[in-house]
């Protein structure tokens, strides 16, 4: 990753996704590895930086994990540990979409390697004001896509494992969303049937 003056804006038929990682009191020396749904390298995002990734308009999925996991085997992860964050993004032509990579507590010497809350932040989100602050406080960086991809391709089995973990995270997100919808529908039905 190399510091740059500014992030490129998407052209008329293009779209862009910006990944921003605000500084957290839980930060250590780890960086966030970001890949797309096929395992293509997007960037290594350190605290206080942001990177833009050009995409074609349409739906995209991105996975994020801590560099601290790179030297661990997936079977060494504690049960239920969500090692890979995931976000779906609908990229629109001529626009930039934003994804925040957040390092939530707990942290400290006994914490397991960092997990990240990966959140798409649309303009109508309650996180939008925070995102504007994070963008203002972060520095733009550019990714060496070839070098990053070479590093991922050096251990294809590990990359495949992380992509599978990312898919499991998406399944968890979907289950939570469906449960919320079901509860909301039940609440509405209860209100309509109340005397």
Mean pLDDT of all residues belonging to the chain: 84
Q: Tens of pLDDT along 55-108?
A: 999 999 999 988 877 656 666 666 666 678 899 999 999 999 999 998 766 665
Banded pLDDT at 110 (limits 50, 70, 90): very low
Distance, in Å, from the CA atom of 127 to the CA atom of 145, rounded to the nearest integer, reads 29
CA distances from 41 to 23, 100, 104, 153, 194 (A): 22, 17, 24, 10, 53
The tally of domains found in the chain comes to 1
Query: N- to C-terminal Cα distance for the chain?
Result: 62
What's the predicted TM-score (pTM) here? 0.83
| Residue 91 located in a structural domain | yes
| Residue 97 located in a structural domain | yes
Report whether pLDDT(109) > 60: no
Q: Tens of pLDDT along 16-67?
A: 999 999 988 776 667 889 999 999 999 999 999 999 999 999 999 999 988 8
Range of the domain at 74: 2-190
| Residue 170 located in a structural domain | yes
């Amino acid at each position: 990753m190399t510091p740059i003056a500014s992030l490129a804006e998407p052209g008329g038929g293009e779209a862009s996704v910006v990944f921003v990682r605000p500084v957290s009191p839980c930060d250590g020396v780890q960086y966030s590895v970001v890949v797309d749904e096929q395992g293509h390298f997007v960037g290594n995002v350190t605290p206080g930086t942001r990177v833009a990734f050009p995409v074609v308009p349409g739906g995209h999925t991105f996975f994020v994990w801590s560099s601290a996991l790179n030297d661990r085997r997936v079977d060494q992860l504690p049960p239920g540990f969500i090692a890979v964050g995931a976000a779906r993004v609908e990229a629109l032509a001529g626009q930039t979409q934003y994804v925040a990579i957040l390092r939530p507590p707990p942290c400290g010497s006994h914490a397991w390697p960092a997990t990240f809350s990966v959140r798409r932040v649309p303009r109508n989100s309650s996180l939008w004001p925070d995102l504007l602050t994070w963008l203002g406080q972060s520095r733009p960086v550019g990714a060496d896509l070839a070098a990053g991809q070479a590093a991922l391709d050096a251990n294809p089995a590990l990359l495949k494992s992380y992509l599978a973990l990312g898919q499991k995270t998406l399944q968890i997100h979907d289950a939570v969303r469906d449960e919320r919808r079901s509860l909301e529908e039940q609440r509405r039905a209860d209100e309509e049937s109340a005397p």
